[in-house]
Structure 1
Amino acid sequence: MSWMSWLITLWTCSAPSLLLVGLVGRQLGLRTGSQAAQMLDCSRWGTPSEKGAFENGDVIIGGLFNLHYAPPASDYGFTQQPNLPLQYSYVMMYALEEINNSSTLLPGLKLGYYIHDSCAFPAWALNAAFAMIGGNTPTCDPPVPLIIGGDSSITAQILARILAPLSFPLLSYTASCPCLSDRLQYPNFFRTMASDIYQARAMVQLAIKFNWTWVGAVITNTDYGLVALKKFEEGIRGTGVCLAFVETLLTENIATDARRAALTIQASTAKVILVISWYADMLEVFLQLEKLNVTDRQFLASEAWSTSSDLVQNPVSRKVASGVLGVAIRSSPIPGFKSYILNLNPSLRPADMYLNEFWGNEFGCSPGTLSGSLPPCNGTKTLAGVHNLFTDTSNPRVTYNVYLAVYAAAHALHSLLSCPDANSPPEKVSCSIPKQISPSELMHHLSRVNFTTPQGELFYFQGADITAKYDLLNWQKTSEGQLRIVMIGHVDGFKLHLNESAIQWSTGSNKVPVSVCTESCPPGTRMASRKGEPICCFDCIPCADGEFSNKTGSPQCDHCPSEFWSNAGHTACISRQLDFLSFNETLGITLTAVAVSGVTVTTAVFVVFLQYRQTPMVRANNSELSFLLLLLLKLCFLCSLVFIGRPAVWSCRFQQAAFGISFVLCVSCLQVKTMVVLAAFRSARPGAEALMKWFGPTQQRGSVCVFTCIQVIICIVWLTVSPPAPEPDLATPGLKVTLKCTMTSVVGFSLVLGYISLLACTSLLLAFLARKLPDNFNEAKLITFSMLIFCAVWVAFVPAYVSSPGKYAVAVEIFAILASSYGLLFCVFAPKCFIILLRPEKNTKKHLMAR
């Protein structure tokens, strides 16, 4: 047998239970001091067997309520009269009366009650619990099988742990600690109060819904505040909501802690303050905020103070705490309870010491059953005109939790005492005798209750808990400047139902307050976290070119599709504009003018040569190849114009072919001219007269054709297999995208340039070898200079072409064509024209043949 079972066995009807208080206090490590003084104050009601309200019945339900409690915050003007807790005890009596009058729930069975004052002191509550379960009742009846009590989480934990070895069910109406949901530690605990997990989650949802990403927190330095804060932090993880600060309040040091919290609130940029604390502590915080003239904060209130009439009626609250948004224990009407309260009278309940005491305090007279210094009551007093927390049943909250707890106990008893049908399987529990109810059996049935309340609510336990339901409240100023509490929504489990239009915020308007560490980044920018700071504090960085963000508070910039580019504000992507080297722009006009000038100059030279074709200067330098070279230079100048304008399929193919073939023709002519010069001087040697027959006019034309045909074949194969095609250069950044002829085959273009380069190098080599041949006018020198310029231009062309963006690459190629064409024209023909036109005396056979 355990020590607890042994202790209960020794408990008798007449045992003085106060002897256990010291023992239990030592076992639980409870503090003395103020709590001991409070216990002594409560002891004036006598031992548990002498105090409390009792009603006999077939089954007695135990009840524990804080009917006498002097809070530590009494220095601030608060007084806790037994009004509300007294209402809790009477709603238990009312519910039991309803059940006893029911024809469907426990018919023929009368439920009684035994209500004790726990004085908000765990040791006193435990003392009273021992009295109940040990059978220490006024009638020495069997012990109660269930207790409705455990007003606070700490008291509930102590009671549940002590009663767990006996499998004795404890049904709490206010204990909210999430720890009590642990069935391994508290298998006998049940509650009609929601776990603080749901309260914290509701506050998380409010912060997310109103985009409050920078929230300060003020909490009580107890399990109530610390656990709720932990759940809040878990809820905001990954949502973009951050805690700006956390300040704790300890009742023993409330003046210092409240001052520190107020200074932190004043210094912080957070406009929304989450407060999980007691109503008494909050007044001191409000007083400190008033001194600092901080009146623009939006408070999120926990259920511990959101419905406090003391705070709502205080002038300080009206100044610094209007617009409070709070979570409250859900309320539900209890039909008939108002009438029940107003009809209470000590003359009808002479043994009810709690009602007698309340009557004396309220009316200043002594009922007939209560002796004292007060004058006797005349019997005409009623509660009909009394307005206080006891008679106010408009919004029963904890009161409704007690009401639910009584009905849950009754339905569990109904299930336990109901005999099974004849056809029920044998393993069904048999019906029990009321006087022999086992707490463990009742606990089993309590865990399985499933019923509809008189208010039409479906009720069942999920482990120790019920489905969480809260009211959402708002402190609103009336036209008279007073504060009133208005319900603006409710919470069902994790679902939030809110009437936003009904909210009055701390600003006094319907505009939602803004509470952020950094204002949301506008479209066109992205958020960049600051090193060492929470993610809610960031810098706004403009999106790079080609990227955009079209939402406020975008964490990153998105890349525009390749066919689009970001607009000036980087807020959207717009279609990229096609760009190409056109005849209308300055660069196109300049290049066109240079090309046309080249054609004009070439034509003029051609006319000069044609007019002086019979002169020695023209005839001595292979006039046929000279005329052909002039015509080909015209083609070179003209082919550059094909590169200007909007690229098309035909122009992309024709421009490269025209460029490649025309330059091969030009270089071929120069190479043949150089070879003829070399052959002429070689043939002048003895025995080499036959060499010139290989370099006659026919052979010269044939050589040019052969050299050109090779380039033609390269171009045909290239343009057939993989021709250039007009495509936008999407890889180049910018709003304007160049439409150019894309070289789908780099090999083909390289062969065209390579073959031209091969011929140019060969011509340069041959001309260099013939530069010093004895002649008064040696054309090989001119060809050498022209080939040097030609090679220099095209060597520089390659890197310039590769590095030039967009249409400027086309301009580089055109420039190379024009520069090399001008080089050939001036180097080869300018000296000849100079002699023909300006030095005619040198244009004689005698002068040319002189050595």
Structure 2
Amino acid sequence: KASSLGFFPALGHPLFRVHILALVFAVKEINENPQILPNITVGFHVYNNNFYPSWTYLATMKLLSTWNRFVPNYKCDDQKSLPAVIGGPNSNICSHMLIYSSAPEQNDRNNAAFFHWMFPNGNTQYLGLLQLLLHFRWTWIGVIYEDVESLQTFVMKLLPLFSRNGVCFDIIEKLPGRSLISDVTEVITDWIVTFRLVFSSTARVMIFHGEVQSMAKLRTVENFFTFEGIPVQDKGKLWIMTGDTDFTSSLFQRTMDINFLHGALSFIIHSKEVLGFRQFLQTRNHTLEKGDGFVRAFWEEAFNCLLPGPAIDELNENICTGEEKHVTLPSSVFEMSMTSHSYAIYNAVYALTHAFHAMHSSPLKRRTVIPGRRESMLTQQSWQFIFGSAYTQVYTVFQFKAVNVFHKRYRRAKKEGKPYCCYDSLPCPKGEISNQTDMDSCSQCQKGYYPNKDQDLCIPKVVIFLSYAEPLGIGLATSAVALSFITTLVLAIFVKYNNTPIVKVNNRMLSYTLLISLLLSFLCTLLFIGRPQKMTCLLRQTVFGMVFSVVISCLLAKAITVVVAFMANKPGSKLKKWIGKRLAISIILLCSLTQVMICSLNLATSPPFPDSDTDSFLQNNVLECNEGSGTMLYCVLGFMGFLAIISFIVAFLARKLPDSFNEAKFITFSMLLFCSVWLTFVPTYLSSRGKYMVAVEIFSILASSAGLLAFIFFPKCYIILFRPEQNKKEQLMRRKC
């Protein structure tokens, strides 16, 4: 006995050659297996619909008529009865026939009992697609679909589900679903117009929902844009293909590359490697098989040769040998393994065969209930449209090549007047990062970190402080040591020549105290250099304030002593009792103790402590001493400024006194320099940040102290060392102002 299957592919495409061979291989395996349908040979007829629904109607009517005698609705022989029909993987064709289909499922409740879809329910794929979009937070997308019945469900029912889950659409474009053979120019023109809109879209992710033959059209469009100098892969789009689309292209596209698909994601039906199929393709002599009416067209176009025949010139150099191998064809044209669509056809053949086997193995008649209708008994002859088992498959996501489509360091800003999920992509402000896509706002790095160049990662800030290892620290430390050495040298000169008139006349005790204080003021700047520690932070401003108060109080005592000494020489003056060391000591102690009280109050209420400044510099974390109360620091500086102004006024008033008492003019110049330095210090200090604030203060201490040393002591040292003849009492008495 023989039993035949009908198969409806569209044979104008090399993909369907693979489908036919999958069908042939399945039938071959079944006929060679004695455990399935013993004593029955399974055969098949293949009908070419050429993508035309009308051809499908014609072939269906032939199935219902006498073999080779087409009389609609009349069938007089039962010997050639087809028990089942397998439709090709094109849903637009399958929708015009009652078949067992390998195309994606459609909703047809009236004919549900006469259909069995080998593709899984499309809703499963769409839910997986939604999960994929939400997982990567791709919520601004475009959709392109072919205008066929099976895809209308996706647009009408499932896209609203995407919207309810936060996915927004920049464009939803419909591509003409007419066949590739008819109206080719019009179809491709419409596709090109649509893809121009796609390229101008702001959406980076594009969902392409096509049919099995859509890839041939898509590659034609891509080739057009490449010819126009507009490479598709340069548009920065991430393509997501649905499982209905097959990647096998037409034969004339064999030389075209598929670079535009690099980075694309595709849903494919999960399939298994069928053992023996590759060997079957390699060993089968396709050109000698009888009954294969489609091999000639495929073979001649695929291998660019002509098969021998009565109308073919035997001397033609492009005569096919029949030994050509499928393996030499590009994989984009012919797959040597079963595609997911071919695997569905392979399984459809086996499913039908096992159903036939079960039916033939039992004497009982099979029955089925058509939904909404009464129960009906079906004989073997009427069973030909029924198959009663479920079939499920799993979708797999396949990626051609990984690409980065979305960038971080941006935040979302809602567009006014647009849908709720329509946003502009704005770069993060300076100093902020966005380490995820689709962030509503950028975030600050935690303390001690700063954004990298791409503003998608926080990296630790570089710790800096005024150290002895950097040029600025080395220069200031060297200057402090050098000035300390000079001060020590001047002190040594004064000690050595302590009995000379010029040393005596200027109050040796005050001169020694002033030199020692200047020495300490130079050395105290070393407390400002180096990594801030708890002890150095406590000492540096305190030592500086107290030492400088002693320096200025000594100058004030010198100026007041000059004035008192001159006024005490007047007849009847009561100031004679203040002449001597008592007045100078009193002034120094009063001024110094006042400063000590201010510094002690500062240490008791707001002691300085090591701290870090993470805000002044983007990439640096500045270690510094937090001075505690800024008010107390300015009280220390203010008191020194007050003493300096009093000293300047007294010295200025005493500058024209006789030479024998006149040190006032040197004090005047030194106080003028001192006040100028510290008045400049205040705005400079406040406008500086980090280690440069410390450097400004060190420079001010060194500059003002060096000015005092130069104006007060260098003239005296010059006379002591180079003009000893002027270092006599008589000479000093004769000098004029």
Superposition TM-score, scaled by structure 1 size: 0.52
> SS at 2:610's partner residue?
strand
- Counterparts of 1:290 and 1:716 in 2: how far apart (Å)? 83
Say if 1:777 and 1:231 are closer, same or farther in 2 by CA, change over 3 A: farther
Q: Given the alignment of the two structures, is residue 745 of structure 1 paired with residue 708 of structure 2, yes or no? A: no
> SS at 2:59's partner residue?
coil
- Counterparts of 1:233 and 1:785 in 2: how far apart (Å)? 87
Match for residue 710 of structure 1? 594
Q: Is the 8 A contact 2:412 2:425 kept in 1?
A: yes
Say if 1:174 and 1:273 are closer, same or farther in 2 by CA, change over 3 A: farther
Query: What is the 5 A alignment of 1:384-423?
Result: 394=350, 406=369, 408-409=371-372
- Counterparts of 1:324 and 1:76 in 2: how far apart (Å)? 35
Match for residue 706 of structure 2? 822
Say if 1:325 and 1:754 are closer, same or farther in 2 by CA, change over 3 A: closer
Q: Given the alignment of the two structures, is residue 786 of structure 1 paired with residue 670 of structure 2, yes or no? A: yes
> SS at 2:369's partner residue?
helix
1:512 aligned residue (376, 382, 400): 400
Match for residue 696 of structure 2? 812
1:585 aligned residue (470, 474, 482): 470
- Counterparts of 1:198 and 1:208 in 2: how far apart (Å)? 16
Q: Is the 8 A contact 1:290 1:319 kept in 2?
A: no
- How much does 1:690 deviate? 1.2
Q: Is the 8 A contact 2:433 2:442 kept in 1?
A: yes
Q: Given the alignment of the two structures, is residue 260 of structure 1 paired with residue 260 of structure 2, yes or no? A: no
1:249 aligned residue (168, 176, 196): 176
Residue identity in the other structure for 2:714: A
Match for residue 445 of structure 2? 560
* Per-residue deviation, residues 369-420 of structure 1 (Å, max 9, x unmatched): xxxxxxxxxxxxxxxxxxxx9x966568xx9xxx99936547xx89xxxxxx
Residue identity in the other structure for 2:629: S
Residue identity in the other structure for 2:704: S
- Counterparts of 1:283 and 1:814 in 2: how far apart (Å)? 76
- How much does 1:822 deviate? 0.4
1:300 aligned residue (236, 241, 254): 241
* Per-residue deviation, residues 259-313 of structure 1 (Å, max 9, x unmatched): 234324776669997555778x95994796598599999783587x88xxxx999
Corresponding residue pairs, total: 534
Residue identity in the other structure for 1:246: E
- How much does 1:758 deviate? 0.8
Residue identity in the other structure for 1:783: I
Query: What is the 5 A alignment of 1:576-615?
Result: 576-615=461-500
- Counterparts of 2:560 and 2:721 in 1: how far apart (Å)? 28
Q: Given the alignment of the two structures, is residue 228 of structure 1 paired with residue 191 of structure 2, yes or no? A: no
Residue identity in the other structure for 2:580: G
- Counterparts of 1:271 and 1:569 in 2: how far apart (Å)? 20
- Counterparts of 2:728 and 2:50 in 1: how far apart (Å)? 131
2:565 aligned residue (677, 680, 690): 680
Match for residue 326 of structure 2? none
Say if 1:76 and 1:675 are closer, same or farther in 2 by CA, change over 3 A: farther
- Counterparts of 2:553 and 2:511 in 1: how far apart (Å)? 12
Match for residue 692 of structure 1? 576
* Per-residue deviation, residues 456-483 of structure 1 (Å, max 9, x unmatched): x8xxxxxxxxxxxx96xxxxxxxxxxxx
Say if 1:786 and 1:405 are closer, same or farther in 2 by CA, change over 3 A: farther
Query: What is the 5 A alignment of 1:622-771?
Result: 622-687=507-572, 689-771=573-655
> SS at 1:731's partner residue?
coil
Residue identity in the other structure for 1:258: V
- How much does 1:784 deviate? 0.9
Q: Is the 8 A contact 2:546 2:592 kept in 1?
A: yes
More deviation, 552-561/721-730:
552-561
- Counterparts of 1:548 and 1:820 in 2: how far apart (Å)? 46
> SS at 1:831's partner residue?
helix
Say if 1:691 and 1:84 are closer, same or farther in 2 by CA, change over 3 A: farther
Query: What is the 5 A alignment of 1:120-199?
Result: 173=112
Give the RMSD, CA atoms, in angstroms. Answer: 5.6
1:836 aligned residue (720, 723, 731): 720
* Per-residue deviation, residues 702-734 of structure 1 (Å, max 9, x unmatched): 221111001111111111221101112222324
> SS at 2:669's partner residue?
helix
Say if 1:256 and 1:794 are closer, same or farther in 2 by CA, change over 3 A: same
* Per-residue deviation, residues 161-220 of structure 1 (Å, max 9, x unmatched): xxxxxxxxx867499xxxxxxxxxxxxxxxxx9998766444444566799889764435
- How much does 1:612 deviate? 2.3
- How much does 1:782 deviate? 0.7
Residue identity in the other structure for 2:652: F
More deviation, 206-215/823-832:
206-215
Match for residue 801 of structure 1? 685
- How much does 1:570 deviate? 6.1
Match for residue 83 of structure 2? none
Q: Is the 8 A contact 2:467 2:531 kept in 1?
A: yes
Residue identity in the other structure for 1:590: G
Q: Is the 8 A contact 2:175 2:194 kept in 1?
A: no
Match for residue 89 of structure 2? none
**% identical equivalent positions:** 31
- Counterparts of 2:173 and 2:726 in 1: how far apart (Å)? 105
- Counterparts of 1:697 and 1:772 in 2: how far apart (Å)? 23
- Counterparts of 1:768 and 1:84 in 2: how far apart (Å)? 128
Match for residue 78 of structure 2? none
- Counterparts of 1:204 and 1:80 in 2: how far apart (Å)? 40
Q: Is the 8 A contact 1:218 1:261 kept in 2?
A: no
- Counterparts of 1:575 and 1:287 in 2: how far apart (Å)? 49
- Counterparts of 2:566 and 2:52 in 1: how far apart (Å)? 129
Q: Which runs of 5+ in 1 are unaligned?
A: 1-69, 87-119, 121-150, 157-169, 176-192, 329-388, 415-433, 435-452, 458-469, 472-486, 491-497, 504-510
- How much does 1:828 deviate? 1.0
- Counterparts of 1:291 and 1:623 in 2: how far apart (Å)? 101
- Counterparts of 2:367 and 2:440 in 1: how far apart (Å)? 48
Query: What is the 5 A alignment of 1:22-421?
Result: 74=52, 79=57, 81-82=59-60, 173=112, 200-205=126-131, 217-220=143-146, 228-229=154-155, 233-234=159-160, 246-249=173-176, 255=184, 258-264=187-193, 274=207, 285=217, 289=221, 292=224, 300-301=241-242, 394=350, 406=369, 408-409=371-372
Say if 1:82 and 1:724 are closer, same or farther in 2 by CA, change over 3 A: same
Residue identity in the other structure for 1:406: V
- How much does 1:545 deviate? 7.4
Residue identity in the other structure for 2:643: L
- How much does 1:571 deviate? 6.3
- Counterparts of 1:174 and 1:314 in 2: how far apart (Å)? 35
> SS at 1:741's partner residue?
strand
Match for residue 501 of structure 2? 616
Superposition TM-score, scaled by structure 2 size: 0.59
Q: Is the 8 A contact 1:776 1:847 kept in 2?
A: no
Residue identity in the other structure for 1:840: P
- Counterparts of 1:582 and 1:283 in 2: how far apart (Å)? 68
- How much does 1:628 deviate? 1.1
2:659 aligned residue (766, 772, 775): 775
> SS at 1:632's partner residue?
helix
- Counterparts of 1:694 and 1:632 in 2: how far apart (Å)? 24
Residue identity in the other structure for 2:532: P
- Counterparts of 2:388 and 2:718 in 1: how far apart (Å)? 122
Match for residue 379 of structure 1? none
